[in-house]
Chain A
Amino acid sequence: MKYSEKVMDHFTNPRNVGEIENADGVGVVGNAKCGDIMKMYLKIDENDVIVDCKFKTFGCGAAIATSSMATELVKGHTVEEALKLTNSAVVEALEGLPPVKVHCSVLAEEAIKTAVADYYNKIGRPVDFEIEKAHDEE
């Protein structure tokens, strides 16, 4: 199995690792049993723009790289735009993932959406979107 250079770049030098205190939205997805957990923090301004995004991930190289790429792809965008982020867009931005690792990108998409749902709940906006789960069991 071989990772693309882009994946290895984001794995060895992950962007936006860390926590955001008083984040506007937090999403934790995956589980330790399956070997990957992603935690996404979003800082959102009054115009619904994601001004900051940080992550912490327990997982394989692909899980770390997809987390890192996902934060880059949503930072500076509105939550509306972030909700349009698909796992395949993350895979594409990483110049591909080995087939067995594609579920990691689904987890990244799930993490962003879960964090946005948390934000919606906090501000009392209805969660009007579906979240695809990377793992069947929790």
Chain B
Amino acid sequence: MRASNLKTRERSLNLARFVYADNAATTPVSRQVLDAMLPCFLEDWGNPSSLHEKGRDAKDILDDARARVAAVLGADASEIYFTSGGTESDNWAIRGAAMRLRAKGKNRIVTSKIEHHAVLHTCEALAKEGFEVVYVGVDEDGVVKLDELRASLNDKTAIVSIMYANNEVGTIQPVEEIGNIAHEFGALFHTDAVQAVGQVDIDLSKLPVDMLSLSGHKLHAPKGIGALYIRRGVVIGNLIEGGGQEKRKRGGTENLPYIVGLAKAMEIAKEKLKDLPRVAKMRDKLIEELTKIPYSKLNGHRTKRLPGNANIGFEFIEGESMLLWLDIAGVCASTGSACSSASLDPSHVLLAMGVPHERAHGSLRLSISHDTTDEDIDYIIETLPPIIEKLRNMSPLWEDVVKKEGARV
């Protein structure tokens, strides 16, 4: 955390430390990003579609931002379309492709069981509209089963949509192989890279990806801005009709300050890719130390995982209780427990990986960033075990284990 915010919070709550370990949920806007955005509110506030000077200036800034976003991804500026965020990009890519290709007799959509709800709910909506949707399974590490993917494809498949990296368990998918398989069957390949951009070096000039979704607020740009990359030559239908912006593909006056913020954030993220081994080292320490706690298990692939993601399941306790105690101790984290959502079912991702309900309820996701320090990691490692002990001591499930196996926390 930035020092100023941190100090204020520590003072107000009298905490030993404040550790934000929920970067997969959202990130704070960085000072550099905000500084880059401010002139677009106060000086360069023109509408890029206007003919006059204010408009022309805005258009120049828009073109520049688009070129910079493209450069970070190894894409061409003409392939970047700005949207309101990851959810819109996912909706647009899948619905746009499905609607366009239905006219050509393609009515199948192939996705995975561990996608974000922006993808899953779009697919469910399209299924109600007559599309045939196939949900490919994953192995116990959360890696998409390629043989199952291949078996689910046919020449009637319009689009394959599989995420670059999972938001809950951090598993990175074999995107190149998935894209190649999709193309063998003449299907488009879309990937939701909302979690991956900034944590994985992505070069779209070398990957068989037709469309890629990204979001600003996961990489220190504001909420409400994102982009969809659409490879040149790929034509999809529109989601939002309007006044001809984004080459008539996405209506609505361009959100220039946020677009500039996104471009800045992506450049900084690219620059910081070289610092990722340090982040991964902190992640590994978290995983190593926290899985020493009895009856705990890492969720997700040990090595093919996002450098900032540690997801660990603790048996016999429930995730929300863990989060509440962590919050009291000044640690922000997340869980796949049902109790943190409106349903009684825990995370669909963990269930798809074959994690039993009981263990899925006790999962803890810690998502760290470049701003995380070694002291933060030590603090988490020191804070969590007593919380788990406290909750286990009042758990009837733990009582049974103690009686049966003489277990100790």
Contact = CB atoms under 8 A, between A and B. Distances in A.
Nearest to A34: B344
B114 to A, nearest CB: 20
Nearest to B341: A100
A19 B396 CA distance: 9
A35 B396 contact: no
B358 A32 contact: yes
Interface string B314-347: 0011111100110010000000011111101010
Contacts of A74: none
Contacts of A38: 396
Nearest to B328: A12
Interface string A10-24: 011010010100000
Nearest to A137: B344
Contacts of B357: 32-35
A80 B105 CA distance: 68
B397 interface: yes
A60 B394 contact: no
Interface size class of B (residues with CB under 8 A): 20 to 34
B399 to A, nearest CB: 6
B339 A56 contact: no
A33 B319 CA distance: 13
Contacts of A112: none
Contacts of B344: 34-35, 135
7 contacts: A32-B397, A35-B346, A38-B396, A60-B318, A60-B340, A63-B339, A135-B344
B395 A58 contact: yes
Contacts of A28: 396
B394 A57 contact: yes
B394 A17 contact: yes
A109 to B, nearest CB: 18
A61 interface: yes
A34 B324 contact: no
Contact of B337 (A14, A33, A37, A60): A60
B317 A58 contact: yes
A75 interface: no
A35 B316 contact: no
Interface of A: 3, 8, 11-12, 14, 17, 19, 28, 32-39, 56-64, 100-101, 135
A69 B168 CA distance: 34
A61 B324 contact: yes
Nearest to B338: A35
Interface string B338-368: 1111101010000000000110010000000
Given A32-B357, A58-B318, A39 B338 contact: no
A60 B339 contact: yes
Contacts of A32: 357-358, 361, 397
Nearest to A11: B324
Interface string B197-226: 000000000000000000000000000000
Contacts of B346: 35
A101 B346 CA distance: 15
Contacts of B394: 14, 17, 56-57, 64
Contacts of A100: 341-342
A56 B324 CA distance: 18
A3 B320 CA distance: 12
B395 A57 contact: yes
Nearest to B320: A60
Contact of B318 (A8, A59, A135): A59
Contacts of A19: 399
Contacts of B398: 58
Contacts of A17: 393-394
Nearest to A103: B344
Contacts of A61: 320-321, 324, 339
